[in-house]
Amino acid sequence: MDESRISGGCIICGLQRDGELMYTHAVALGSAAVCLVAFALAVRTGSALAIILTLSAAIFGAGLPLWLLASTNYTLSDSKLFVKCGPFKRDIPIAQITSIKATSSPLSSAALSTDRLQIDYGRGQSIMISPKDKEEFLRDLETRRAIGAHNTNI
């Protein structure tokens, strides 16, 4: 079975989940707007220190959230689930997944929506993701889990 890339539901990146404007988008765009307004005000004052400080804050405050929005994706290989969210990456062996359940937890995670899946794996580890098509993702994952279980029983 080949790799399949399952994207997070990101409106900005062209992916949509039933027209839902995800709260993470509002937070990211809001922080970017605040940082850029602060930078514009600092430029108006003409203070070099204020410009340098607000430019640094704008780069981090606007750049990181936009990077997270633009790069969140989930890739399934035959043996692993790869999760990428900005600079954060996790490789989860499919054979170590112990449970998958729907959740709407607002805790920080590699999910662009509160319509999430919590994946428990390993020894007490978990991650929350929000694939665009949860049913397709679950079918793909279960198929790969079954193939992996079959191959270990041979």
**116-137 pLDDT per residue, tens:** 899 999 999 999 998 888 899 9
Per domain, the residue ranges of the chain are 76-152
Distance CA(130)–CA(150), nearest Å, equals: 28
- Tokens representing 96? 């170590």
Q: Which CATH fold would you assign to the domain 76-152? A: PH-domain like (2.30.29)
Tell which residue, 28, 30, 55, has the closest CA to residue 41.
Answer: 55
Cβ within 8 Å of residue 67, ≥6 positions away: 86, 87
Cβ within 8 Å of residue 13, ≥6 positions away: 7, 69, 70
Separation of CA 133 from chain center: 14
Residue range 54-86, pLDDT digits in tens: 888 877 777 777 787 788 889 999 899 999 988
pLDDT band at 20 (very low <50, low <70, confident <90, very high): very low
Instruction: Give the DSSP H/E element, type plus range, for residue 98.
Output: strand 97-103
DSSP state of 131: B
pLDDT score, position 118: 93
